[in-house]
Amino acid sequence: MLSQQTMDIVKSTAPVLEVHGNNITKTFYKNMFAAHPELLNIFNHANQAKGRQQAALANTVYAAAVHIENLGAIMPVVKQIAHKHRSLGIKPEHYPIVGEHLLGAIKEVLGDAATDDIINAWAEAYGVIADAFISVEEEMYQEAEKQQGGWRFFKEFEIANKVVENEEITSFYLKPVDGKVLPQYQPGQYITVQVTIPGDEFTHNRQYSLSRAANNEAFRISVKREDINDPEGKVSLYLHNQAKVGDHIQVSAPAGDFQLDLASKAPVTFIAGGVGITPLMAMFDTLAALDANRTTTLIHSARTSNLHVFDNEIQENIAKMSNASYIALNTDEVGYITKEFLQENVSLENDVYVCGPAVFMEAIINQLYALGFKESQIHFEFFGPAQQLNVAVKA
């Protein structure tokens, strides 16, 4: 339990963290990787290069300062991050390393303004927050391990099949080398794939959504080739261009809190932008198998008709369902999804699941709020570290 004095000091630093948070987290990662380069085997190098990981950590530290008197308020964020940590194999012994370099970065960036009282208060607060993460993550490790076919960290899988879906997306079917049954997972969850790329010093971890309903045969991930970004998607290019059927890769057990509410009977709409269709396809696939009478609409926005995927599967699922529909939009022809389109195609009683680029989700969610949808009706997933969406109005 933190003392009131400690909480007051930590809370008083919130305005400073809001201003200097990104500099602190950039300094933190630079110093930590210099002292512990082995941790580069865990962290996503591309997210580091783009500043996403630094921004995500800065937002989390700031939220902890604001809510230090009621850390329960940030437990949803803690659980979301803990899912990522569990999928990456983060261990309790990593937390003292993080704490040392986070406090060091605060001291380095703030200089004399980071008094001993501030550093000591943050050290105490960090200990409480770290213990919360360790506890939640241990529960998740045990849950992943105890289920039928489950395991704790990484497990060896074989690429059993590789299917080109379109010019950008290829699906990979992954089977456990030991031949054991696959664990069940919730539609919307992801796995971490760990690959060793010839010539690279470090291993690479990437999270990819499972793109079909749980089954006993294989995991399926559907990976977009990221070759127009700076930096390029090293792992996606490796999987597309070099990985072949029969190759072995390391895989973590399914994780993630973006999950379809199977208990709900409300009509549901899935709105996908580009490769964001992958977790939504698993949800759509699951409804076709388990709740075929639920009113369901899948909307997929892509640049051109050539970039739509899973058409045959979608039509097969629709044939099994009593009230399902599919709308494929080509933005090069019809432009982006508008509020008028949503008003016409998404009923106000629907649950809505959204996945795609951040700017796509911002636009969709803002339009839904403007139409009167409640926050509890809207569910979304980031690919990569969680970012702050510029959402203007909440109903």
- Cβ pair 61, 99 in contact under 8 A: no
Q: Which of 129, 146, 163 is the last residue of a domain?
A: 146
Q: Is 394 within the bounds of a domain?
A: no
Residues 8 and 132 in one domain: yes
Rg (CA), the chain: 22
- Give pLDDT, residue 232: 64
Residues 108 and 173 in one domain: no
Q: Of the spans 20-29, 37-46, 286-295, which averages the highest pLDDT? A: 286-295
Q: What is the CATH number of the domain that holds 344?
A: 3.40.50.80
Distance CA 282, CA 277 (A): 9
* Confidence band of 134 (pLDDT split at 50, 70, 90): very high
Residues 128 and 13 in one domain: yes
Residue type, 188: G
Selecting among 62, 126, 137, 238, the annotated active-site residue is 137
With a cut of 50, say whether residue 394 has pLDDT above it: no
* Confidence band of 46 (pLDDT split at 50, 70, 90): low
Is 254 marked as binding a ligand?
Answer: no
Q: Is 198 within the bounds of a domain?
A: yes
Q: Is 371 within the bounds of a domain?
A: yes
User: Domain range spanning residue 110?
Assistant: 4-146
Is 81 marked as binding a ligand?
Answer: no
Q: Once rounded to an integer, what is the mean pLDDT over residues 270-298?
A: 95
Residue type, 187: P
* Confidence band of 19 (pLDDT split at 50, 70, 90): confident
Neighbours of 161 (CB within 10 A): 13
| Percent of the residues in the chain that have a pLDDT greater than 70, as a whole number | 93
Residues 171 and 67 in one domain: no
Residues 9 and 94 in one domain: yes
Distance CA 363, CA 370 (A): 11
Is 42 marked as binding a ligand?
Answer: no
- Backbone torsions φ then ψ of 287, nearest 5 degrees: -65, -40
Residues 63 and 161 in one domain: no
Q: Is 137 a catalytic residue?
A: yes
Q: What is the 3-state secondary structure (H, E, C) of the chain?
A: CCCHHHHHHHHHCHHHHHHHHHHHHHHHHHHHHHHCHHHHHCCCHHHHHHCHHHHHHHHHHHHHHHCCCCHHHHHHHHHHHHHHHHHHCCCCCHHHHHHHHHHHHHHHHHHHHCCHHHHHHHHHHHHHHHHHHHHHHHHHHHHHHHCCCCCCCEEEEEEEEEEECCCCEEEEEEEECCCCCCCCCCCCCEEEEEECCCCCCCCEEEEEEECCCCCCCCEEEEEECCCCCCCCCHHHHHHHHCCCCCCEEEEECCECCCCCCCCCCCCEEEEEEHHHHHHHHHHHHHHHHHCCCCCEEEEEEECCHHHCCCHHHHHHHHHHCCCEEEEEEEHHHHCCCCHHHHHHHCCCCCEEEEECCHHHHHHHHHHHHHHCCCHHHEEEECCCCCCCCCCCCCC
Residues 245 and 169 in one domain: yes
Is 127 marked as binding a ligand?
Answer: no
Is 327 marked as binding a ligand?
Answer: no
Q: Is 51 within the bounds of a domain?
A: yes
Which tokens go with 361?
């989700």
Is 190 marked as binding a ligand?
Answer: yes
168-222 per-position pLDDT tens digit: 999 999 999 999 999 999 999 999 999 998 888 888 999 999 999 998 889 999 9
**Helix axis angle, 116-146 relative to 4-12, nearest 10°?**
100
Is 278 marked as binding a ligand?
Answer: yes
**Listed range (27-36, 104-113, 326-335) with the worst mean pLDDT:** 326-335
Q: Once rounded to an integer, what is the mean pLDDT over residues 59-86?
A: 85
- Give pLDDT, residue 186: 94
- Give pLDDT, residue 395: 38
Is 187 marked as binding a ligand?
Answer: no
**Listed range (58-67, 213-222, 311-320) with the worst mean pLDDT:** 58-67
Is 150 marked as binding a ligand?
Answer: no
Could you tell me the CA-to-CA distances from 154 to 88, 106, 194 in Å, in that order?
Answer: 8, 34, 8
Is 208 marked as binding a ligand?
Answer: yes
Q: Is 263 within the bounds of a domain?
A: no
304-315 per-position pLDDT tens digit: 888 899 999 999
Is 326 marked as binding a ligand?
Answer: no
Full-model pTM = 0.88
Neighbours of 32 (CB within 10 A): 20
Distance CA 104, CA 119 (A): 9
Q: Once rounded to an integer, what is the mean pLDDT over residues 91-115?
A: 92
Q: Which of 130, 146, 162 is the last residue of a domain?
A: 146
Is 383 marked as binding a ligand?
Answer: yes
Could you tell me the CA-to-CA distances from 247 to 84, 177, 244 in Å, in that order?
Answer: 25, 10, 6
Residues 159 and 80 in one domain: no
Q: In what order do the strands lie in the sheet with 204-209?
A: 204-209, 190-195, 248-252, 154-164, 169-176, 219-224
Q: Which of 98, 125, 146 is the last residue of a domain?
A: 146
With a cut of 60, say whether residue 118 has pLDDT above it: yes
Q: Once rounded to an integer, what is the mean pLDDT over residues 89-110?
A: 92
Q: Is 390 within the bounds of a domain?
A: no
Q: How many domains, the chain?
A: 3
Selecting among 29, 95, 185, 326, the annotated active-site residue is 95
Is 233 marked as binding a ligand?
Answer: no
Residues 137 and 174 in one domain: no
Residues 167 and 137 in one domain: no
Q: Once rounded to an integer, what is the mean pLDDT over residues 244-256?
A: 96
Q: Is 185 a catalytic residue?
A: no
Mean pLDDT of the chain: 89
- Give pLDDT, residue 227: 75
Residues 199 and 222 in one domain: yes
Q: Is 35 within the bounds of a domain?
A: yes
Is 274 marked as binding a ligand?
Answer: yes
Q: What is the CATH number of the domain that holds 119?
A: 1.10.490.10
Q: Is 258 within the bounds of a domain?
A: no
With a cut of 90, say whether residue 13 has pLDDT above it: no
Residues 40 and 132 in one domain: yes
- Give pLDDT, residue 393: 42
365-385 per-position pLDDT tens digit: 999 999 999 999 999 887 655
Q: What is the CATH number of the domain that holds 243?
A: 2.40.30.10
Distance CA 224, CA 211 (A): 12
